[in-house]
Amino acid sequence: MSDVSHTNADQPDDLETLKNKMNLELEAISVNQLHTLATQAIEKKLIAAHGYRGGQYELLRNGEFILLSPTEAIQYLQELLNTND
């Protein structure tokens, strides 16, 4: 037997675990922000509906469906709300 310790390659290191946790938290913040913006847009009657569909974010505006990435949807909604203030 050897006294040399070996690290287990199957265990994620602390840095990788921290990165994954931060990514999940950022995603949750993004989802909350997106939902808040979309709700404001509905209240101002700028869009009729919103939600996730196949990994994209779907907005119903003027009878048309708009599919965007969550990041693009946040930008789109921010611009829409700012131009209608």
| Structural domain contains residue 53 | yes
Tell me the C-alpha distance between 49 and 4, whole Å.
Answer: 61
Confidence band, pLDDT 50/70/90 cuts, at residue 3: low
For 23-53, how does the pLDDT look when each residue is reduced to its tens digit (9 = 90+)? Answer: 888 888 888 899 999 999 999 999 999 999 8
Mean pLDDT value across the chain = 86
Residue span of the structural domain in which 52 resides: 15-83
| Structural domain contains residue 67 | yes
Tell me the C-alpha distance between 6 and 20, whole Å.
Answer: 24
| Structural domain contains residue 4 | no
Phi, psi of 28 (to 5 degrees): -65, -40
| Structural domain contains residue 6 | no
Number of domains in the chain: 1
- Can you list the positions of beta strands (E) in the chain? 49-53, 56-61, 64-68
How much is the pTM?
A: 0.71
| Structural domain contains residue 7 | no
